[in-house]
Structure 1
Amino acid sequence: MTHFLQQTMTERPYLLSSHMSGINGIPENYVRSIEKHFNIIWFDDYLKNKEELASKIQLVFMWSFRPIIDEKILQSLHQLKAIVNAGVGVDHLDLPLISSFGVKVANTPHVVDEATADMGMALMLASARNVLEAHQFLTSPGMKCLPYNWLGVEVTGATLGVIGMGRIGYKVAQRAKGFDMKILYHNRNRRTKEEEGLVGACYCAKIDDLLQESDFVMLVVNLNPQTCKLIGERELCLMKPTATLINISRGAVVDQDALVKVLQKRLIRAAALDVTDPEPLPRDHSLLQLPNVIITPHTGGSTAKTRCKIMEKMLENAIAAVNGLPMPDEVLPK
């Protein structure tokens, strides 16, 4: 990469991105890294001066799903070569449409795997041991005694069902093995016997078998037409009444109306969600009112180390694209 970096301000290619800092903006220290290689056009500035700026833009950096890429913006960016996405999932991008404009897409696989698997385990443990409720109880003004008979559920020795045994799902299994959990998994393609043996995982050809036997069900699938609302009322009702649903994939993988119904009736014990549909949920959404739900704001890959790696991979793909080289992490339309 280094031999492309000796560029002056005027020589540097232009890229479009959302905004700097704030809740969903690119952190300032990452901006400095980008500006070593590219001139940044922020989306608000682009909207104010489209005619002058559109012809300069060769790249779009998608950070926190922004800016939204639609046909109108693709038509205006005549020099656009690539869209580089922060993170693995590209379900928010219309890949066939983008490809029809001759534009390539890259993501940042692998770098989010460890942090996302950690998040899955964190949600499982927090839900099982009532961590949030315990904190709220202990810090409440009226607290006078410790809740000795307020009981959680065991994680060690329990059965974990992993739906989606790709890179992240397998890392979840590695962590669960350390808790002596019995691990079941359902996946489009079965892992090798050696891979199964290393984590002690048992393959379930039928998702129903996994749902019926698991104490914790963790969703780690990509969102696509086949997995949209993969878990609906029928699937939830197959789960044990003592079981917990954990979702670290995409919100739309679960039928949220069905999940609310099942949780309200206590047909399953709890749900722990790092993703919802939409994000964030409307403030009056029923999931936000239920005591047996933990929701975090899609923070699976939100660690300082992981975000730094994401930016490094984005830059690697972007530099390749503007120099006419294959992007290491190009995502092809299906």
Structure 2
Amino acid sequence: MTQRQKPTVYITRKLPDIVETRMRELFDAELNIDDTPRSHDELAAAMAHADVLVPTVTDRIDAGLIEQAGPRLKLIASFSNGVDNIDVDAAARRGITVTNTPAVLTEDTADMTLALILAVPRRLVEGAAILADRRHDWAGWSPNWMLGRRISGKRIGIVGMGRIGTAVARRAKAFGLSIHYHNRHRVSAETEASLEATYWDSLDQMLARVDFVSVNCPSTPATYHLLSARRLQLMQPTSYLVNTARGGIVDETALIKCLREGRIAGAGLDVYENEPAINPKLVKLASEGKVVLLPHMGSATLESRVDMGEKVIINIRTFFDGHRPPDRVLPGRN
């Protein structure tokens, strides 16, 4: 490629108009106008001719696809915070750089996490459904109507005290929750002091002592089913689980069993093991008011999507200017 040529950038899903417009200005950008998910064969064809692939979290870029990539493909600039859908090691072996879009989803995801922490014990979705369903005639307020559980004064256990986990902790503290956390590494003394947070090096011990469990760790081989059947059974029967990270971190089958048997009081989920498929048993539990289900919308604000697009653009431009992209993902760290 000569200096004046624009890199060919293949974008797998429709992005905000402002992002796509800027990409068309800067690159030879191939857009997905109708937002149809690309098949394995379509991705392979794109990777055979493009200089840059811009996938999203729903695109599985495995070793097989990477091995079929053409010699021009030098950058996979993922439009996502995590890269668990990309075989970074296989990309490195082919000399392909991988980037992501970190640190732009923190506040939105933390907001949604707290929304679920409020929605589940206070039965917000159940209450809203009663008024929306014309088959029910609401008789008005009464002392025992739609009783939930107070969150102030309770303990929250945060699994993964990174950027999002810390943002969740700040919000939870403002709502009167006592902060507990489990992390690979202890956070700074200043952060602990400001949050009045209690660190647990044993996840098992923390799970048995808190009223809410918020899953905020990244998805890696080490965190697959971190919340296993055994660990879920350590939770108190009055406790709640909220997951806005990745579905595979929680053993979904075991969670369904715990909810069905009343081993935990409820759950709020924005992510699932087999997205976009949702286990019918979870849907049934939702209809019974035992779980609140959201369609992976934790980071779904226009602002976050534009911020993500800007990071993708910066990573591409930096790479083709001959510099190291600011959000490069190194092999073995995803």
TM-score (norm 2): 0.89
The one-letter code sitting in structure 1 at the alignment partner of 2:241 is L
Q: Secondary structure at the match of 2:272?
A: coil
Match of 1:119 among 112, 122, 128: 112
Match of 2:305 among 307, 310, 314: 307
User: Any conservation in 2 of the 1:54–1:78 contact (CA below 8 Å)?
Assistant: no
Q: Does 1:107 align with 2:107?
A: no
Output the CA distance in 2 between the equivalents of 1:182 and 1:265: 27
Output the CA distance in 1 between the equivalents of 2:196 and 2:118: 20
Q: Residue in 1 aligned with 2:138?
A: 144
The one-letter code sitting in structure 1 at the alignment partner of 2:89 is P
Match of 1:280 among 250, 267, 276: 276
Q: Secondary structure at the match of 1:162?
A: strand
Q: Residue in 1 aligned with 2:19?
A: 30
User: Any conservation in 1 of the 2:20–2:31 contact (CA below 8 Å)?
Assistant: no
User: Any conservation in 2 of the 1:81–1:322 contact (CA below 8 Å)?
Assistant: no
Q: Residue in 1 aligned with 2:35?
A: none
Output the CA distance in 2 between the equivalents of 1:134 and 1:46: 42
Q: Residue in 1 aligned with 2:321?
A: 323
Match of 1:217 among 213, 216, 227: 213
Q: Where do 1:228-267 residues align within 5 Å?
A: 228-267=224-263
Match of 1:173 among 169, 172, 184: 169
Deviation at 1:204, TM superposition (A): 0.9
Q: Residue in 2 aligned with 1:204?
A: 200
Q: Secondary structure at the match of 1:234?
A: helix
Greater shift, 125-134 or 291-300, is seen at 291-300
Match of 1:80 among 73, 82, 92: 73
Deviation at 1:146, TM superposition (A): 3.0
Output the CA distance in 2 between the equivalents of 1:45 and 1:117: 32
User: Any conservation in 1 of the 2:243–2:270 contact (CA below 8 Å)?
Assistant: yes
User: Any conservation in 2 of the 1:17–1:67 contact (CA below 8 Å)?
Assistant: no
Output the CA distance in 1 between the equivalents of 2:115 and 2:192: 23
Q: Secondary structure at the match of 1:299?
A: coil
Q: Give the length in aligned residue pairs.
A: 319
Identity %: 34
Output the CA distance in 1 between the equivalents of 2:170 and 2:77: 30
Unaligned runs of 5+ in 2: 33-37
Output the CA distance in 2 between the equivalents of 1:171 and 1:138: 33
Match of 2:284 among 264, 276, 289: 289
- CA pair 258-210 structure 1, distance change in 2 beyond 3 A: same
Output the CA distance in 2 between the equivalents of 1:33 and 1:313: 12
State the 4+ residue runs in structure 1 displaced beyond 6 angstroms: 43-51
Output the CA distance in 1 between the equivalents of 2:223 and 2:39: 38
Output the CA distance in 2 between the equivalents of 1:265 and 1:31: 48
User: Any conservation in 2 of the 1:17–1:66 contact (CA below 8 Å)?
Assistant: no
- CA pair 223-46 structure 1, distance change in 2 beyond 3 A: closer
Output the CA distance in 2 between the equivalents of 1:306 and 1:183: 27
Output the CA distance in 2 between the equivalents of 1:46 and 1:188: 35
Q: Secondary structure at the match of 1:272?
A: strand
Output the CA distance in 1 between the equivalents of 2:319 and 2:187: 34
- CA pair 67-161 structure 1, distance change in 2 beyond 3 A: closer
Output the CA distance in 2 between the equivalents of 1:56 and 1:314: 19
The one-letter code sitting in structure 2 at the alignment partner of 1:286 is K
Q: Does 1:59 align with 2:52?
A: yes
Unaligned runs of 5+ in 1: 1-6, 20-24
User: Any conservation in 1 of the 2:76–2:96 contact (CA below 8 Å)?
Assistant: yes
TM-score (norm 1): 0.89
Deviation at 1:125, TM superposition (A): 0.7
Q: Secondary structure at the match of 1:226?
A: helix
The one-letter code sitting in structure 2 at the alignment partner of 1:333 is P
CA RMSD of aligned residues (A): 2.3
- CA pair 47-165 structure 1, distance change in 2 beyond 3 A: closer
User: Any conservation in 1 of the 2:47–2:53 contact (CA below 8 Å)?
Assistant: no
Deviation at 1:251, TM superposition (A): 0.3
Q: Secondary structure at the match of 2:192?
A: helix
The one-letter code sitting in structure 2 at the alignment partner of 1:62 is P
Deviation at 1:15, TM superposition (A): 0.8
Output the CA distance in 2 between the equivalents of 1:98 and 1:57: 15
Deviation at 1:48, TM superposition (A): 7.8
Output the CA distance in 1 between the equivalents of 2:43 and 2:254: 46
Q: Secondary structure at the match of 1:275?
A: coil
Output the CA distance in 2 between the equivalents of 1:54 and 1:61: 10
Match of 1:17 among 11, 35, 43: 11
Output the CA distance in 2 between the equivalents of 1:187 and 1:78: 40
